[in-house]
Structure 1
Amino acid sequence: MNKIAVFCSASDTIAPVFMEKAKELGAWLGQHHKWLVYGGSNTGLMEVLAKSAKENGAMIMGVVPTKLEENGKVSDLLDVSFHSVNLSDRKDIMVQEAEVMVALPGGIGTLDEVFHVMASCSIGYHDKRVIFYNIDGFWNDLLAFLERLEAAHFAHRPLKNYFEVANTFDELTRLLE
């Protein structure tokens, strides 16, 4: 896999462990000559990830919604910039451009992106998966909820058809190779 989309937080006030893990992933992307496809923001995990990836030789593709541009929140690290009208357009472009999606810890925007990928996969628009990078068990509650959805028959197929979980950095990189 050469183009890897990463969904993650744009917050600058989250625990340092998440910043460290984003930096580690960015370094790996660069060292392995991968493209980072991400939301293009200059804040939070997004900027930490992009900076580390760039410093280690990765190419950076930002998919930038108009509101980010209007608010001056676009990273200066982008090699390629796609301009999107809104967040829906952004998600579609990211899925189109990347071969796999990694979900680092994030908020409502990250959840929106994850569910967009899984839902569109579930009805056959693509066969790409999300990898939940479960740093310090961040995704445990969501993963348990997905199991409950499936157990209660709110899923037509096993939801694990649409995602994988990496609890360690080694597990994540094995899934990305």
Structure 2
Amino acid sequence: MPKIKNVCVFCGSNHGYDPTFLEQTNALGQYLARHDHPVVYGGGKEGLMGAIARSTMDAGGEVIGIIPTFLSEMGLAETQITTLLETATMDERKDEMLRQADAFIVLPGGFGTFEEFTTMLSWSQINVHQKPIALFNINHYYDELVAMMVKCCDAGFAPKENLDLFINASSIAEIFDGFANFHHQLPYKYTN
């Protein structure tokens, strides 16, 4: 496993109703700063996105925000970070996040966060990248999503080995233990 430096964090542009989401986001930002992991994220100032940026910066860390120009023009960009990059499209944003990151952590979030996670996971299954991905499953937020992915494998739409392409973690320690032990193994994609 190559050394992990930059960590991309996918997360919601809302805080969510459970205060633990924000508490754990702030704790993650502090951890990443203390352990010299620059944060790559979506460049927003609202919700958990803003929280991961501010908590990392406040702890002396480095933050690289990547945001499409149309969202920046709506006033949604966090400008008090180390670097803010603009892209033309949402797809270019994901491409740049992949380029900048050595690993991914998926915090609670909405439809956009789900899409970012499943994009990186599907790209891993076809060997576009070999980087570790962790669901930060705070207070069991992602239990049903994980169950759906197990169901997908049980139904024959993906090999069970695909479940090893991501880490289902309930704590920061579990995430980084998972990263340390991660080995990308490309499964044979077809189940028939």
When normalised by structure 1's length, the TM-score is 0.94
Question: Quick one: structure 1 residues 161 and 109, their matched pair in 2 at CA, closer, same or farther if it must change by over 3 Å?
Answer: same
Secondary structure at the residue paired with 1:76? coil
Q: Percent identity?
A: 29
Aligned residue pairs, count = 177
Q: Which consecutive unaligned segments of at least 5 residues does structure 2 have?
A: 181-192
Compare CA radii of gyration and give the structure with the larger one: 2
1:34 aligns with 2:37: yes
Question: Quick one: structure 1 residues 127 and 95, their matched pair in 2 at CA, closer, same or farther if it must change by over 3 Å?
Answer: same
After TM superposition, the runs of 4+ consecutive aligned structure 1 residues lying more than 4 A away are: none
Select the residue among 157, 170, 176 that pairs with 1:173.
176
Secondary structure at the residue paired with 1:126? coil
Q: Equivalent residues in 2 for 1:1-177 (5 A)?
A: 1-156=4-159, 158-176=161-179
Give the deviation of 1:57 after TM superposition.
1.5
Give the deviation of 1:60 after TM superposition.
0.5
Give the deviation of 1:96 after TM superposition.
1.1
Q: Which consecutive unaligned segments of at least 5 residues does structure 1 have?
A: none
Secondary structure at the residue paired with 1:27? helix
Secondary structure at the residue paired with 1:63? strand
What letter corresponds to residue 64 of structure 1 in structure 2? I
Which has the higher mean CA deviation after the structures are superposed, 119-128 or 139-148?
A: 119-128
When normalised by structure 2's length, the TM-score is 0.87
